[in-house]
Amino acid sequence: MASTSPGPLALTLPAPTSANPRPEDLPVKSATIQMASPSPAVATTAPTSVTPRPEDCAVKPAFVQTASTFQQLSTLKPAATQMASSLPAVSTTAPTSVTPSPEDCACKPSPVQTASMFQQLPTLKPAATQMAGDRSLANVVAHEISHSWTGNLVTNRTWEHFWLNEGHTVFVERKIAGRMHGEQTRQFAALGGWKDLYNSVQTFGETNLLTNLVPRLDGVDPDDAFSSVPYEKGFTLLYYLEELVGGPEKFEPFLRKYIETFKYKCLDTEEWKAFLLDYFKKEVSEGLFDKVDWKAWLHTPGMPPIKPSYDITLADVCSALCQRWSQATPDNLDQFSPQDLEGMSPGQKTEFLAQLLLKPPLSIQHIEKMDQVYGMSANNNSEIKFRWLRLGIRAEWEGAVDPALTFVTIQGRMKFVRPLYRDLFGFEKAREKTLTTFKQNRPFMHSTTASLVAKDLKVQ
């Protein structure tokens, strides 16, 4: 059953000091320079001198720059204020610097080194993939600001409990979307996240222990475990628990108390679970939590044991158009026209393409017709472009190869780069060019992304 969002709680919002990126969002190392450029300086009460962690320096702007970008997204401000009011006020006397671990210091160059490196690539123009020109990808901004509480203020103890950072952050991010655009939008985003989770599980394999919400990483490089699993499986668990205890009016106060209790601390999943059950001790005594299969949720690979009943209203039009394209024969393609997409939001267009990716590959005739009537190749929304290019490559349409190689070169978000490189490598006619492109650009990619793509392409 779809839940409804309650009104905001009247609380004071602390000034965050930084925001952590999603692993799959890590951009090319020049992002510090690229991201700062579109945003004029704005007045802010945030600290004026914050020493970031070295691993953050090359992947995102300082908080003041992020705040500037966020203030430009005027439609986000009221919703962000509402959502922030549901989070606890904390002291702003937190340390202004963080001493990094030695292994963090050696993995990425400083911004100055990064700028020097990119001078060697004068034709490369890094792209800010969350800037679509229509504010449709502002959820990335909401996600990173949410990390100021879930990830920075409260942090997972080890990489095995990474979902405590990311699952909670996706949960808050979608709360903001719900406050901005209505509950159906939050539900629609959750449906898209379920597909992302399914794709990750299929890539790893349904029995791969790295698809556990709490994986065992003994002898495993944590980089190898990066996927949408901690994000989307974590979100799904939190969404399920919110529905179980009676909706947002019961669960959001728990989230506030959780952050207040563990602020400036690290914790693991067992500590989180113990706090949850203690907070809801009345419901526990009534047997409400007896139905929760903790082993299946936390320590079993594959998809979650329960799929919530999300509201599919906004997805219906996407599903209908997907069915038309997947069932159309090559001699029946004249039925499609630009009017098919009228009234569809960027998110719905993305969902339409995402659903097609779950179907058998389309023919080249289908792809060329879709490009003719919808102008997909000219669309610069990164989420739409990413799925469109994947559809073309799966159809073995050579017209998608060069645009895909350009896309994986001008930006470096792992969520885009890794699947596209895998698809290109699987397309025999594109394989040699793909390997050449990767080898030429590998020194300028984020180290984690470069390492995992190298494994996918079987490159030493």
Give residue 460's pLDDT band: very low, low, confident or very high (50, 70, 90).
confident
Judged against a pLDDT cut of 80, whether residue 62 lies above it is answered with: no
Is 179 or 134 the better-scoring residue by pLDDT?
179
Give residue 136's pLDDT band: very low, low, confident or very high (50, 70, 90).
confident
Q: Give residue 128's pLDDT.
A: 61
Q: Give residue 86's pLDDT.
A: 52
Strands 265-267, 154-156: pairing is: parallel
Judged against a pLDDT cut of 90, whether residue 188 lies above it is answered with: yes
User: For helices 346-357 and 183-204, what crossing angle results, to 10°?
Assistant: 30
Tell me the pTM.
0.74
Mean pLDDT for 65-92 is: 41
Which residues have CB under 8 Å from 278's CB, separation 6+? none
Report the mean per-residue pLDDT for the chain: 80
Judged against a pLDDT cut of 50, whether residue 111 lies above it is answered with: no
Vertex 394, ends 341 and 236: CA angle to 5°? 70
Helix, strand and coil content of the chain, in percent to the nearest 5, comes to 60, 0, 40
Give the least confident one: 33-37, 325-329, 434-438, 446-450.
33-37
For 366, phi then psi, to 5°, come to -60, -50
SS3 state of residue 202: helix
* Residue of 304, 277, 275, 301 lying closest to 288 (CA atoms): 277
| Per-residue exposure over 200-223, b if at least 16 CB sit within 10 Å of its own CB, e if not | bbeebeeebbbbbbbbebeeeeeb
In the chain, pLDDT over 90 holds for what percent of residues?
68
Which residues have CB under 8 Å from 317's CB, separation 6+? 343, 344, 348
Burial class (CB in 10 A: 0-12, 13-18, 19+), 186: buried
Q: Give residue 143's pLDDT.
A: 96
Q: Give residue 79's pLDDT.
A: 39
Judged against a pLDDT cut of 80, whether residue 38 lies above it is answered with: no
Q: Which of 24, 55, 231, 279 is catalytic?
A: 231
- Residue 263's CB: how many other CB atoms inside 10 A? 17
* Residue of 406, 460, 411, 415 lying closest to 433 (CA atoms): 406
Judged against a pLDDT cut of 60, whether residue 432 lies above it is answered with: yes
Token digits for 460? 């030493």
Give the least confident one: 119-123, 198-202, 281-285.
119-123
Mean pLDDT for 164-175 is: 98
| 231 is an active site residue | yes
What is the SS3 assignment for 58-120? CCCCCHHHHHHHHHHCCCCHHHHHHHHCCCCCCCCCCCCECCCCHHHHCCCCCHHHHHHHHCC
d(CA 118, CA 196): 32
Judged against a pLDDT cut of 80, whether residue 201 lies above it is answered with: yes
Q: Are 100 and 53 in contact (CB under 8 A)?
A: yes
Q: Give residue 77's pLDDT.
A: 37
Whole-Å CA distances, 214 to 95, 159, 198, 269: 30, 9, 17, 8
Write the pLDDT tens digit of every residue in 93-107: 443 333 444 333 333
d(CA 277, CA 415): 34
Q: Give residue 58's pLDDT.
A: 34
Q: Are 429 and 460 in contact (CB under 8 A)?
A: no
Q: Which of 24, 55, 144, 232 is catalytic?
A: 144
Judged against a pLDDT cut of 60, whether residue 264 lies above it is answered with: yes
Token digits for 392? 């073309």
d(CA 419, CA 408): 10
Mean pLDDT for 359-365 is: 97
Give residue 60's pLDDT band: very low, low, confident or very high (50, 70, 90).
very low
Judged against a pLDDT cut of 70, whether residue 168 lies above it is answered with: yes
Judged against a pLDDT cut of 60, whether residue 6 lies above it is answered with: no
- Residue 295's CB: how many other CB atoms inside 10 A? 9
Write the pLDDT tens digit of every residue in 402-422: 999 999 999 999 999 999 999
Give residue 225's pLDDT band: very low, low, confident or very high (50, 70, 90).
very high
| 160 is an active site residue | no
SS3 state of residue 140: helix
Whole-Å CA distances, 261 to 172, 271, 274, 305, 399: 17, 11, 13, 29, 54
